[in-house]
């Protein structure tokens, strides 16, 4: 997903603004930062529980375990939907270097990794004694936000092609937030796990800026 964010989303976003010369990274940088901040806000505000973690994150709430597990996956899935939407909008727009092939490949890649993600949701429910059908249904439901995210993004991007580089990199920032938060265990240790994620994002943005400006 990190590779997809860089090659399918950020690099096309930078290329779209070739006329800006050395500053062509700016829309990508702004979009990326917004994506990270948006996910950070969701992570801090929405009460949710990551599978395998003891304590919930986000604001205190009286939601049950099941609901909070679902919310965690919803937060996780939204950026993937936004990524598919942004890249499809890019493929449909004549001004962007994004090809339909790239869009379809990204969609397939994300779909494939959604199978185990659906299972991550379904299996604990099954273990908690829910029926097979109910567990499966909840797993599927957790993925529903992706087409929703995709449709919203397409609808928005079609109206405003100039915003496309921002949308592509917004999706990239959101995806990278999720990847770092969930897949790099060291960045997750302790109660204040957002700091590790933010440090990663900062380093990423800095390298991107330097690479484009000096490259």
Contact yes or no for 70/46 (Cβ under 8 A): no
Nearer to Zn ion, 40 or 157 (CB): 40
CB of 117 to Zn ion, least distance (A): 15
Number of chain residues interacting with Zn ion (CB under 5 A): 2
CB of 39 to Zn ion, least distance (A): 9
Q: Work out whether 43 is an interface residue with Zn ion (CB under 5 A).
A: yes
Nearer to Zn ion, 67 or 92 (CB): 67
CB of 21 to Zn ion, least distance (A): 38
Nearer to Zn ion, 68 or 164 (CB): 68
Q: Distance between CA 132 and CA 21 in Å, rounded?
A: 56
CB of 75 to Zn ion, least distance (A): 6
Q: Show the binding pattern over residues 46-65: x = contacts Zn ion (CB under 5 A), - = does not.
A: -----------x--------
Stretch that binds Zn ion, among 42-50, 127-135, 150-158, 163-171 (CB under 5 A): 42-50
Nearer to Zn ion, 125 or 177 (CB): 177
CB of 128 to Zn ion, least distance (A): 21
Nearer to Zn ion, 43 or 146 (CB): 43
Q: Which residues bind Zn ion (CB under 5 A)?
A: 43, 57
């Amino acid at each position: 997903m990190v590779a997809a964010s860089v090659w399918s989303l950020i690099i096309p976003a930078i290329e779209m603004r070739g006329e800006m010369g050395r500053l062509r990274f700016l829309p990508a940088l702004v979009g990326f930062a917004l994506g990270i901040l948006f996910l950070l806000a969701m992570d801090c505000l929405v009460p949710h529980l990551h599978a395998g973690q003891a304590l919930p994150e986000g604001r205190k709430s009286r939601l049950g375990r099941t609901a909070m597990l679902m919310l965690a996956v919803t937060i996780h899935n939204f950026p993937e939907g936004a990524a598919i939407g942004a890249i499809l909008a890019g493929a449909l727009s004549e001004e962007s270097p994004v090809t339909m092939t790239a869009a379809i490949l990204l969609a397939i890649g994300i779909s494939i990794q959604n199978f185990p993600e659906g299972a991550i949701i379904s299996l604990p429910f099954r273990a908690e004694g829910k029926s097979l059908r109910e567990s499966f249904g909840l797993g599927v439901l957790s993925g529903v936000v992706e087409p929703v995210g995709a449709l919203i993004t397409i609808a928005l991007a079609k109206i405003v092609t100039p915003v496309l580089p921002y949308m592509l990199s917004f999706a990239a920032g959101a995806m990278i937030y999720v990847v770092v938060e969930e897949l790099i265990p060291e960045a997750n240790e302790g109660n204040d796990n957002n700091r590790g994620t933010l440090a990663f994002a900062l380093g990423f943005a800095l390298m991107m800026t330097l690479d484009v400006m000096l490259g």
